[in-house]
Structures are given as C-alpha cells and as structure tokens.
Amino acid sequence: MCEVGENTVPISIDEFDHHESPDRRETNAQRVLRFLIENRNKAFRAAEIAEETDVNVNSIQPVLNRLRSRELVRHKEPYWAIGDIERIQEAAVFHSTAEFLDEELGSESREAWLAAAEESANDGSGRASESTNADTSASTTETEGTDTSADEDDK
C-alpha cells in the first residue's frame, strides 16, 4: 500500500466528487458575458470586469476585444457593457449545438473537410467541389463569427 508522502496534496473525496474538470469549466469569455448580463444596466472598466470574473488582468483586454468584434459587448472608452442580448442568445445556441454535436459525433476536422473537397474535385464532377468549398468557407466564417469560447491562452 502506498502512503501519502510529503509532496502530495490530496483532496477529500467530497471535493473530488464536486471537482469540475478543466474541460467543463467556463471560458473567460463565458464568465465575462455572464457577469455583464447579470449587470446589464451598468458599464464597467476592464480592470473591474477582470476582478469580478477572476479573469487574469493581462487576459481581459483580448477577451473583451474578441467579444466586441463579435458584437457581443459594447465599448465606449474606458467602459464596457453587454451587447445585443438577442445576438448573445444566438451565439449561445450555436455554441451549445456545436458542443452537443462534438460530443455525439466527434470534433470536426478542417483537414478532413479539405481532404473531402480535394477528393470531390478529383472525381471529375467539378460542381461538388465548388459546393464543398463554399460550404466549408461559410461554415468556417459562421463559426468564427459566433463562437463565444476563448482561445486556450485565455483560460
């Protein structure tokens, strides 16, 4: 039997049972949006948002700028406020649908999409190739435009 040593930091089984896996916790962008929605009648400085959401102060500007580029938050120097609620709801639905599909069917692979487009182009049909490329471009643009998750460096 292995004994607990000096360098181990065990947690109780209760903590273990209630521990959230890093894969399932909120992203910085989700925390910022939740905070701003809960305080939708107010505007805040970036540092205040960072403090209230436990987002690293060095990460808050990139998160806010990414959300602004997607029109999910508004900015009037030096304040930030929630954007159009309907747009946020649409982004949330898209995000949860994408998560569900990833869980059920596995994650999409850009390489697989490109390989399928290449294969279609090589089969001589031409039209299917153009359609696949257009669908891939539209899907990529739509995903980039509405994704509320943060990049790995924002976690």
- The pLDDT confidence band at residue 133, using thresholds 50, 70 and 90, is very low
> Exposed/middle/buried for 29, CB within 10 Å: 0-12, 13-18, 19+?
buried
pTM: 0.53
Write the pLDDT tens digit of every residue in 136-154.
444 444 444 444 444 444 4
Cis-peptide, bond into residue 10, ω within 30° of zero: no
- In this structure, what token pair is assigned to residue 136? 């891939």
Which fold is adopted by the domain 26-83?
Answer: Arc Repressor Mutant, subunit A (1.10.10)
Where in the chain is CATH 1.10.10.10? 26-83
Give the whole-angstrom CA distance, residue 31 versus residue 12.
27
Give the whole-angstrom CA distance, residue 44 versus residue 77.
10
CA distances from 19 to 23, 25, 115, 137 (A): 11, 10, 40, 39
- The pLDDT confidence band at residue 66, using thresholds 50, 70 and 90, is very high
Mean pLDDT of 8-20: 78
